[in-house]
Amino acid sequence: MSRVTTLPIQAGQLRRRFTIQERLEVQDAYGQPRVEWRTFRIVHGALVPLRGDERFRAEQIEAHVTHRIVTRYVAGVTSKMRILDDRDRTFDVKAVYDPDDRRRGLVWDVEGEGV
């Protein structure tokens, strides 16, 4: 099985289900600010744990990148979002980019909480 790290990718490699969530800052009943997370989109993708050397290189750019997620292109995403996987793990998005600038897919550099 080949490792999925960039595009193009085959549909069969997008086996995992991910929920992209956006952060909302709301006020509670007492007027105090609090954070809520709302589902932005549910997508299928591939989750790739980074090897030690990839993790080292990734940390030069963005600290604590532990995994890379590859999905089809989704408009309107930002690095301020988070991703939940189909195994109830939460990933903070450190960077998200369109590697070939053709709106075919996205690469997400993420940090796993408790992963």
Taking CA atoms, 57 is separated from 18, 28, 32, 100, 114, in Å, by 25, 41, 40, 20, 21
Average pLDDT over residues 42-53: 83
pLDDT at residue 66, rounded to an integer: 87
pTM for this entry:
0.80
Question: CATH assignment of 11-112?
Answer: 2.40.10.270
Distance CA 21, CA 37 (A): 6
- pLDDT band for 65, please (50, 70, 90 cuts): confident
